[in-house]
């Protein structure tokens, strides 16, 4: 996904802006009115771009991450709406098709080099785990309140820490281990949002999705050492879609026109969300903006109440507070050790 954004940005830099037409005469050439001449609109855009460039990098990164959080919540809301009748595998297949169409120019322009890889086994593992992350995560979103599913998904950072120790042989001190343990205590609180004394199966699926997503982050770190971003993107785009073909055929439900529009919108919004994420971590420092990603919980709570009438319970707020606090402490420790965060531009851009 990062390659797409780089291509667009480079083309913008290579092409100088066209001369601004006279706002008095422009209306006679285009709109035939004087209320909204094109020259004035273009000047407004240029002023906006000039203002944007004057912002500090962390400020731009913060705005991008807030936009990404909003779009990700829109995506999960659409998934929940579509999941009322459409099987999750069908939702995921259409999502992959739409996103593949969007990034096809980048893949085609790099073909066949986009298929060259030094670690095919890692790509296969990534495809399987990414499929699991989305299947488990989407199923949880469909069957749990949005706030619950969103809060549990934040447990991904704890799994990243554990997998980094086991697979990448990273050294983790007592402080980070403590944050992981406390974070998982928050997950346990969230696994029983109804307070009925038994673990919620969909809550467990949300945890499984977070674990798969955490492992995907580790694999991306390994693949990025030898493979180009477009190669990582190409295998994921086609691989996950191919896995979904058979189960989608088995559980196929012909969507209505409204449902079809929602399915397509899921793919488009997912692409926008990932692009905003990439821009965020390119513009700002991860330690300065990562915490703003947790605004997804605020968005999810608002949408859950307004659209689905689902009010979060006390356990949701308690568990979410524990998870977010532990996650922020992990980020703080990483910053103090001056190490590269897993939630950097490439990792966030290729999330699932």
Domain boundaries, the chain: 23-54, 57-349
| Cβ contacts of 28 within 8 Å, gap of 6 or more | none
Q: Looking at mean pLDDT, say which of 27-36, 53-62, 301-310 comes out highest.
A: 301-310
Q: What is the pLDDT of residue 51?
A: 61
Return the H-helix or E-strand segment holding 194: none
Lowest mean pLDDT among 213-222, 282-291, 335-344: 335-344
pLDDT of residue 43: 56
What pLDDT, on the 0 to 100 scale, is given for residue 327?
80
pLDDT, tens digit (0-9, with 9 covering 90-100), for 36-87 = 455 555 555 566 666 666 777 778 888 888 999 999 999 999 999 999 999 9
Confidence of residue 305 (pLDDT cuts 50, 70, 90): very high
Tokens found for residue 60: 């731009």
Whole-number pLDDT of residue 84: 94
What is the residue-averaged pLDDT of the chain?
79
**For residues 323-335, average pLDDT:** 75
> Model confidence over 170-185: pLDDT tens digits?
777 777 788 888 888 8
Residues in CB range of 293: below 8 A, 6 or more apart? 65, 68, 69, 343
pLDDT interval class at 324 (50, 70, 90):
confident
Rounded distance between C-alpha atoms, residue 348 and residue 330, angstroms: 17
Q: Are 58 and 282 in contact (CB under 8 A)?
A: no
CA dihedral 145, 146, 148, 153 (to 10 degrees): 140
Nearest to 155 by CA among 302, 296, 324, 17: 324
pLDDT score of 336: 62
């Amino acid at each position: 996904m990062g390659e797409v954004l780089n291509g667009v940005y480079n083309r913008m830099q290579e092409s100088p802006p066209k001369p601004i037409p006279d706002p008095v005469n422009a209306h006679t050439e285009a709109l035939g009115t004087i209320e909204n001449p094109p020259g004035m609109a273009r000047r407004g855009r240029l002023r906006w771009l000039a203002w944007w460039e004057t912002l500090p990098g962390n400020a731009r990164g913060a705005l991008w991450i807030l936009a990404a959080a909003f779009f990700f919540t829109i995506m999960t809301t659409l998934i929940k709406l579509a999941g009322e009748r459409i099987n999750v595998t069908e939702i995921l297949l259409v999502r992959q098709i739409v996103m593949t169409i969007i990034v096809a120019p980048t893949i085609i322009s790099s073909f066949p080099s986009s298929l060259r890889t030094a670690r095919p086994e890692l790509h296969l593992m990534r495809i399987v785990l990414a499929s699991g992350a989305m299947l488990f995560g989407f199923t949880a979103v469909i069957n749990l309140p949005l706030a619950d599913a969103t809060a549990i998904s934040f447990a991904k950072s704890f799994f990243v820490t554990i997998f980094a120790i086991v697979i990448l042989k990273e050294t983790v001190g007592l402080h980070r281990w403590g944050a992981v343990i406390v974070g998982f205590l928050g997950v346990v609180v969230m696994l029983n949002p109804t307070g009925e004394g038994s673990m919620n199966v969909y809550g467990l699926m949300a945890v499984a999705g977070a674990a798969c997503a955490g492992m995907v982050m580790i694999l991306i770190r390994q693949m990025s050492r030898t493979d180009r971003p477009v190669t990582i993107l190409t295998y994921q785009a086609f691989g996950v879609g191919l896995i979904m073909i058979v189960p989608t055929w088995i559980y196929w439900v012909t969507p209505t026109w409204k449902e079809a529009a929602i399915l397509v919108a899921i793919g488009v919004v997912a692409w926008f969300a990932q692009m905003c994420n990439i821009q965020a971590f390119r513009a700002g420092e991860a330690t300065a903006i990562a915490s703003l990603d947790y605004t997804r919980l605020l968005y999810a709570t608002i949408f859950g109440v307004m659209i689905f009438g689902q009010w979060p319970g006390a356990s949701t707020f308690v568990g979410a507070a524990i998870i977010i606090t532990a996650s922020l402490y992990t980020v703080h420790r990483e910053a103090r050790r001056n190490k590269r965060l897993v939630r950097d531009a490439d990792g966030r851009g290729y999330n699932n």
